[in-house]
């Protein structure tokens, strides 16, 4: 089972001019580690968190079982629980509003479904943020540095 740690960071989240970054940590010195600025006009923490998961799935070998560790319950719930009703309701929330970040959620689900078709597991594990988890700490550093690159 390949263990991948992901994180998103938004410097100034929720205000005009926020800058977001993406961090993906495979391990110390691993060439697959990612620290990059979030692309696009919507520079939110949630988009950065989801993008980090998407990038991890794009890079991870398709034939390997993976566990993605993240401190974003929102991201985990989007791609393991909430999407079921959203799909059923034509991507509308229970308040009849369009689902935010649908583009990223659908891209992640597509990756998961592709892996499922290959009989490969994609698991998610929530970690408390800023706790003593080396992988989460390193993913956070990568994400913050990615946000700084956006300046």
pLDDT tens figures, 37-78: 999 999 999 999 999 999 999 999 999 999 999 999 999 999
Whether 103 is catalytic:
no
* Other beta carbons less than 10 A from residue 118's beta carbon: 9
Contact 69, 125 (CB under 8 A): yes
pLDDT of residue 9: 97
pLDDT of residue 112: 98
pLDDT of residue 131: 78
The verdict on domain 2-149 having CATH code 3.90.1150.10 is no
Contact 20, 45 (CB under 8 A): yes
Contact 8, 50 (CB under 8 A): yes
pLDDT of residue 129: 79
Rg for the chain (alpha carbons), in Å?
15
* Other beta carbons less than 10 A from residue 94's beta carbon: 9
Active-site hit among 8, 21, 135, 146: 8
pLDDT of residue 139: 98
The closest of 66, 85, 81 to 125, measured between CA atoms, is: 66
pLDDT of residue 63: 96
Whether 114 is catalytic:
no
Whether 133 is catalytic:
no
Contact 24, 56 (CB under 8 A): yes
Sheet with 34-37, edge to edge strand ranges = 34-37, 19-25, 2-11, 66-70, 122-126
Active-site hit among 23, 135, 138, 140: 140
Q: Give the 3-state secondary structure percentages of the chain, helix then strand then coil, rounded to 5.
A: 40, 20, 35
Contact 19, 36 (CB under 8 A): no
* Other beta carbons less than 10 A from residue 31's beta carbon: 5
Active-site hit among 23, 71, 135, 138: 71
φ and ψ of 37, to 5 deg: -70, 145
Spell out, as residue ranges, where the chain has pLDDT lower than 50: none
How many Cα atoms occupy the beta-carbon half-sphere of 140 within 13 Å? Answer: 14
Whether 113 is catalytic:
no
Active-site hit among 77, 114, 130, 134: 130
**Annotated domain spans of the chain:** 2-149
Active-site hit among 21, 23, 49, 146: 49
């Amino acid at each position: 089972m390949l263990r991948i740690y992901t994180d998103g960071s938004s410097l100034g989240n929720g205000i005009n001019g926020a800058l977001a970054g993406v961090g993906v940590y495979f391990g110390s010195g691993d060439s697959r580690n990612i620290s990059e600025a979030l692309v696009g006009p919507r520079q939110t923490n949630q988009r950065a968190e989801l993008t980090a998961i998407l990038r991890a799935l794009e890079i991870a070998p398709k034939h390997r079982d993976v566990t993605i560790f993240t401190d974003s319950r929102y991201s985990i719930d989007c791609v393991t629980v909430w999407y079921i009703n959203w799909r059923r309701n034509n991507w509308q929330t229970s308040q009849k509003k369009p689902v935010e970040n649908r583009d990223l959620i659908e891209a992640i689900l597509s990756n998961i479904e592709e892996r499922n078709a290959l009989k490969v597991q994609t698991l998610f594990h929530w970690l408390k943020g800023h706790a003593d988890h080396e992988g989460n700490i390193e993913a956070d550093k990568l994400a913050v540095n990615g946000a700084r690159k956006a300046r």
